[in-house]
Amino acid sequence: MTRYRHHEWARLIGAPVEIQQHGEVIRTGIVDDAMPDSSMIWIASDGKSTRTLFEAAQGFQVWVEPRKLEGIFTYRMTTGALHH
C-alpha cells in the first residue's frame, strides 16, 4: 500500500509510522506521544531502539500507511492530512 506524509502528528498516537529525513527512512515504530502543534514526536521503545524524539525543525517528516483494523473499524482516521 502507498505511504502518505502526515502533518498532524498528535492524531497518530498509537499508530505505526515511518520517520524520514531528506527522503531517507530514519526509523519506523509506534507513536508514543506528539506535541499538539506537530513540532515534536516521540517513537516508542521497541526492544531494538530506545524511545526517540524527532523534531520537525530538524527536517523530520512522518509517513503513514493506511492499515485495515479489526472489529467495527475499517481504517484508522488519519486521512485529514492527505489533503494538505
Tell me the pLDDT of the chain (84 aa) as tens digits: 688 999 999 999 999 999 999 999 999 999 999 999 999 999 999 888 999 999 999 999 999 987 766 665 555 555 444 444
Number of domains in the chain: 1
Give the whole-angstrom CA distance, residue 81 versus residue 16. Answer: 16
Residue 70 lies in a domain: yes
Residue 9 lies in a domain: yes
21 and 59 Cβ atoms separated by less than 8 Å: yes
Q: What are the residues whose beta carbons fall under 8 Å from the beta carbon of 1, sequence distance 6 or more?
A: 65, 66, 67
Range of the domain at 13: 4-77
Task: Sheet with 16-21: list strands edge to edge.
Answer: 4-6, 60-64, 16-21, 24-34, 40-43, 52-55
Q: Establish if 82 belongs to a structural domain.
A: no
In a domain, 17, yes or no: yes
